[in-house]
Structure 1
Amino acid sequence: MKKSLMVIAGLAMSFNMISSAMAAEALRIAADPVPHAEILQYVKKIDPSLDLKIIELTSGVNANELLAHGDVDANYFQHVPYLRDQQKALGQTFAVAATVHIEPLGIYSRKITSLQQVPNNATVAVPNNVTNLSRALYLLQAQGLIKLKAGFNDPANDQATPKDIAENPKQLKILEIESPQIPRSLDDVDLAVINGNYALEAGLVPAKDALGLESADNNPYANILVTTPKLADDPRIKKLAEDLQSPKVAEFIRQNYQGSVIPVAVK
């Protein structure tokens, strides 16, 4: 009995030592530069006890592959529909640790100032990845520019492609482009549907510059903190999740992005 207790005590001590060692290590997190890395820098400022190593993503880098391969401990750049698609593509299971903010998708143009001015046969640049392409088509529908086939009612689950357009009165030409490249195409197309983070990086202000903006109400595209199932209970992940969903971070988002980024979870 005494020996068993000693073994249990030894195991508990080893576990505590491992936990302490993990807590002492910097938490490696991959994030888009704007607004995600900026928000994480603010977290570092308000919570010095949390040691974050922020790795800013560049074009062409898949942060979910980094996470799957153990190159980072978490990432912060995506929404749940995109994560679901990535899990299928990579054959991996990830864990959502926190739901933080919405970056409303917007329609932009350098050629017109109103969606009422959209010409016939206008070229529309949209993201070429499955989830954001679908999201762009739902936004075009919400703005009255196209109509999707019957049955496409739930943006989070009913993913649409250009083949699912039932009505296209202005004969819009849908041009699929890599999301980070779309802001650079603004001079070459009539309209561009741009993700909020890439719009901000390009100097656009979604709340002011977008001709049409995605609604934040019941929006399924909230950006999330993602980790692995193994790290889901890591104290560092839990602390970061708590900070990201705090009133202080929500206020930082409101003050700094003024409607272009919207906090959705405050605890």
Structure 2
Amino acid sequence: MRKLFLFMVLSVFAVVLAACGNGGEEGTEESADTGGETEESAETEETASEDASGEAGGTISIAASPAPHAEILEEAATILEEDGIELDISIVNDYTTPNRLLADEEVDANFFQHTPYLEGEIESHGYDLESAGNVHIEPMAVYSQDYESLEEVPEGSTILVSNNPAEEGRFLSFFVDAGLVEIEDGINIEDATFDDITENPKNFDFNNQTAPELLVEMYNNNEAPVVIINSNFAIDGGLNPVDDSIAVEDGEGSPYANLVAVRTGDAEREDIQQLMEVLQGDEIKQFIEETYQGEVIPAE
């Protein structure tokens, strides 16, 4: 009886040892499998990271004003796809953010400004940026709900303009050309500021305290007798610079052509050059002419 009991104890002990041994092997195999999965995950993450960075020139990220800039870029994107270039377009509806994004390397390029503004931004902020080339001109226009021409605007009227100092001469040019304001002799109108006014017989008040993106709303609310609005904001707000204004710029020979800006040296990048070749090409020129009917003009 005692022998039988001892045999049974030894048998149970053997089974327990066997079970422990098998469990260890399964644990080892499971650990090995998990290790394999971890290695595979690492490889997947590495591949995803490579895909995100992309091949050089595969994707160009660009910050742009909504209209007409982003609309033009969307058209260009369909052409660039044939060359294997994707445009990643970020809409930015103000004049201060795009250059900061570009300088901070958050985008590869931006499309919203003209040369005088870019030069002012470089001087003010020390940005290391350059133009990759001009694309189009947006003739600025003067709007009024009360008067049909600049000559009708009465004495003492407020002229509401944007707070962009690079365009003060541009605002003044309407009144200088109409003979309503004179500026100091020898000052190029493109470089003029409100401080250069020498004659203002109607005592117009040029109010430059408003962000440009707010001017359409202020015009719609009739908050001033006269409002001068950049055409990109006017178009985006449903205004036609040609039909709805009381005065509009002649875009021919304008120094205010809108350009694509990049970090200094990047204008030589092959993908940026391909982008500019498309934006300055016949297909985009035709798109601009047919779509905007004079509200936007291809740059020469």
State if a TM-score over 0.5 links the two structures.
Answer: yes
Secondary structure of the residue aligned to 2:154 is: coil
The one of 164, 186, 197 equivalent to 1:165 is: 197
Q: Deviations over 1:52-88 (max 9, x none)?
A: 0000003365211110000100001000010100001
In structure 2, distance between residues paired with 1:219 and 1:61:
23
Partner residue in 2 for 1:22: 56
Q: Percent identity?
A: 36
Alignment match of 2:177 (pick from 109, 134, 142): 142
Q: Match for 1:175 among 186, 203, 207?
A: 207
Largest Rg, 1 or 2: 2
Distance 1:47 1:40 in 2: 10
| Residue matched to 1:37 | 70
- Counterparts of 2:175 and 2:217 in 1: how far apart (Å)? 20
Alpha-carbon distance in structure 2 between the residues aligned to 1:147 and 1:60: 29
Aligned to 1:14: none
Distance of aligned partners of 1:120 and 1:154 in 2 relative to their CA distance in 1, 3 Å threshold: closer
Q: Choose which of 274, 283, 296 in structure 2 pairs with 1:248.
A: 283
SS of residue matched to 2:253: coil
Name which of 220, 233, 236 aligns with 1:201.
236
**2:296 aligned partner, one-letter code:** V
Q: Which residue of 1 aligns with 2:223?
A: 188
> What SS does structure 2 have at the residue aligned with 1:23?
coil
- Are the equivalent residues in 1 in contact too, given 2:142–2:227 (CA < 8 A)? yes
Distance 1:44 1:38 in 2: 10
Which whole-Å CA distance do the structure 1 matches of 2:177 and 2:99 have between them?
Answer: 30
Match for residue 187 of structure 2 among 147, 152, 166: 152
- Asked if 1:118 is matched to 2:153, the reply is yes
Q: Which whole-Å CA distance do the structure 2 matches of 1:130 and 1:61 have between them?
A: 13
AA partner of residue 181 (structure 1) = L
Q: CA deviation at 1:153?
A: 2.3
Counterpart of 2:93 (choices 29, 34, 58) is: 58
Query: Is the contact made by 2:151 and 2:178 (CA closer than 8 Å) also made in structure 1?
Result: no
TM-score (norm 2): 0.77
Structure number with higher helix proportion = 2
Aligned partners of 2:65 and 2:94 also within 8 Å? no
Asked if structure 2 preserves the Cα contact closer than 8 Å seen for 1:31 and 1:77, the reply is yes
Residue 51 of structure 1 deviates from its aligned partner by: 0.2
User: Do the aligned residues in 2 keep the contact of 1:199 with 1:206 (CA within 8 Å)?
Assistant: yes
Paired residue type of 2:79: I
Q: Are the aligned partners of 2:169 and 2:189 in contact in 1 as well (CA < 8 Å)?
A: no
What is the match of residue 235 of structure 1?
Answer: 270
Query: How far is 1:116 from its partner?
Result: 2.8
TM-score by length of 1: 0.86
Instruction: Output one character per residue of 1:161-207: Cα deviation in whole Å (capped at 9) or x when no partner.
Output: 22211111211111112111111221110101111101111111111
Kept after mapping to 2: 8 A contact 1:98/1:244: no
The whole-number CA distance in structure 2 between the counterparts of 1:139 and 1:72 is 36
For residues 148 and 241 of structure 2, what CA distance do their matches in structure 1 show? 14
Q: How far apart are the structure 1 equivalents of 2:95 and 2:65?
A: 12
CA root-mean-square deviation? 1.7
Question: Contact 2:61–2:108 at 8 Å: present in 1 too?
Answer: yes
Q: Mind listing any 5+ residue stretches in structure 1 that lack a counterpart?
A: 1-19
Whichever residue aligns with residue 146 of structure 1, its letter is V
Q: Would the aligned equivalents of 2:173 and 2:189 in 1 still touch at CA under 8 Å?
A: no
Q: Could you tell me which residue of structure 1 aligns to residue 50 of structure 2?
A: none
